[in-house]
């Protein structure tokens, strides 16, 4: 299965895969449930903006079959400290469980190695069992857990 760098025209497909794959797990939906859309922007629009930003600023590797994007990984590398960061890894739900996530993860690692990195880091939700099983099996170590705090602010 060929993996290639993202190119102009990929953005709609990347957004589509992101929304479909993260819908069951993203904590952004909890924001909508508790606080409502932010300035009228629901989790889908916020995710779209996140992918647009990644498209502009990060390296994106795309897994494609017959012109359709099945999954992608994106991230950045800080060559000074030799650290790669995977920001998003996503495989379309219909294509999950076939080894594509693993292929993309390894392709991102290869990319980082080529840019002078010696280590890689990423974040996942504690209850994202599929992703966590993948990372654990690939030798990633669980170093720290975060809390996503959220609050509506008002003038006092």
If one asks whether residue 43 binds ligand COA (CB under 6 A), the answer comes out as: no
Helix (H) or strand (E) holding 134: helix 129-137
CB 119 within 8 A of CB 83: yes
**Residue number with the smallest Cβ distance to ligand COA:** 101
CB 149 within 8 A of CB 32: no
With CB under 6 A as the rule, give the number of residues binding ligand COA.
21
If one asks whether residue 99 binds ligand COA (CB under 6 A), the answer comes out as: yes
CA distance 62 to 82: 23
CB of 154 to ligand COA, least distance (A): 33
CB of 57 to ligand COA, least distance (A): 18
If one asks whether residue 5 binds ligand COA (CB under 6 A), the answer comes out as: no
CA distance 3 to 27: 28
CA distance 65 to 81: 35
Q: Where are the alpha helices (DSSP H) in 11-117?
A: 11-22, 28-35, 43-57, 100-114
If one asks whether residue 28 binds ligand COA (CB under 6 A), the answer comes out as: no
132, two tokens: 């966590």
The region of 20-28, 37-45, 109-117, 143-151 touching ligand COA under the rule CB under 6 A is 20-28
If one asks whether residue 124 binds ligand COA (CB under 6 A), the answer comes out as: yes
Our CB check for ligand COA shows the closer of 84 and 101 to be 101
Contact residues: ligand COA, CB under 6 A: 21-22, 25, 89-91, 96-102, 124, 128-131, 133-134, 137
């Amino acid at each position: 299965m060929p993996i290639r760098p993202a190119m102009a025209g990929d953005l709609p497909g990347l957004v589509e895969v992101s929304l479909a794959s993260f819908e069951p797990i993203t904590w952004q939906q909890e924001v909508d449930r508790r606080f409502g859309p932010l300035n009228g922007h629901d989790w889908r629009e916020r995710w779209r903006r996140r992918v647009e930003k990644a498209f502009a600023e990060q390296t994106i590797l795309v897994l494609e079959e017959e012109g359709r994007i099945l999954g992608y990984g994106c991230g950045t590398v800080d060559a000074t400290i030799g650290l790669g960061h995977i920001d998003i890894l996503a495989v379309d739900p219909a294509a999950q469980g076939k080894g594509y996530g693993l292929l993309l993860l390894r392709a991102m690692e290869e990319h980082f190695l080529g840019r002078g990195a010696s280590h890689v880091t990423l974040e996942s939700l504690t209850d994202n069992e599929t992703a966590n099983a993948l990372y654990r099996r690939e030798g990633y170590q669980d170093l720290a857990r975060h809390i996503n705090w959220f609050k509506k602010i008002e003038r006092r």
